[in-house]
Amino acid sequence: MTAPTDSRVIEHVNKAVDDGVHNVGEMVRYVHTFVKSLFESSPLPRPINRRFYPTRDDLRQMIYRRRRANMHGLLDQEIVANKIAAWSSQHPDDYWLYRPSDSDAGQQLLLVHQSAWQRRLLLRYGQDLVFLDATYKTTHYALPLFFLCVHTNTGYIVVAVIVVEREDSASLSEALDMLRQYVPQWNPSAFMVDSSEVEMTAVSTIFPGNFLLSPV
């Protein structure tokens, strides 16, 4: 039975990957040099000892796992950014606000989208009553998703989409404020919201004085 790779070697490989070392041959040299530093005052392990000398296949898997872990989330956000850039060029009248998550900068993910036709419906049917609806377990990611809806002559229509990183009043308030700034003529008389303190606080903050309706 093969012994697991020494945790110090794994940590060294991970650090090397973080520093940009992705070539297996180069990683072999990095590991051998590191192992020598571990055994400066004692005999080196035998070259067949995979605990300290992972095979090339072992290292290839370790590099892959580390790169995948580093790219998880970041890759998805990059794909979203590229998609939005493409959609924006195809539909320049649509409104897109996309801010990726960046924990180092203390920045939370925010996405607000409204097409040109949704904006027209919001201005036509959304001056009296607007519905703010939170959805759950409808996407692959555990991110709060909100729909702004209005009642038109053909039924209820979504007129804006909001995605936030955290389901709190500050995040939702920011999203509503961005949309209000983009459509300054929009000033509804009332909101229909869920029985949610987060939604009630956010709406009251951005649209003070509006009448709030909530299902019992």
Sheet strand arrangement including 129-135? 95-99, 110-114, 155-164, 145-152, 129-135, 190-192, 211-213
Please tell me the predicted confidence (pLDDT) of residue 4.
87
Query: Residue 147: helix, strand or coil by DSSP?
Result: strand
Please tell me the predicted confidence (pLDDT) of residue 72.
59
Residue 63 near residue 26 (C-beta atoms within 8 A): no
One-letter identity of residue 117: W
The average pLDDT across 98-122 equals: 91
What digits encode the pLDDT tens for the residues 63-96?
Answer: 988 877 766 556 678 888 888 999 999 999 999 9
All structural domains of the chain with their residue ranges: 7-71, 93-213
What digits encode the pLDDT tens for the residues 33-43?
Answer: 999 999 998 99
- pLDDT higher than threshold 90 for residue 206: yes
Q: Which two tokens stand for residue 119?
A: 């904006």
Residue 183 near residue 202 (C-beta atoms within 8 A): no
Instruction: Look up the CATH architecture of domain 93-213.
Output: 2-Layer Sandwich (3.30)
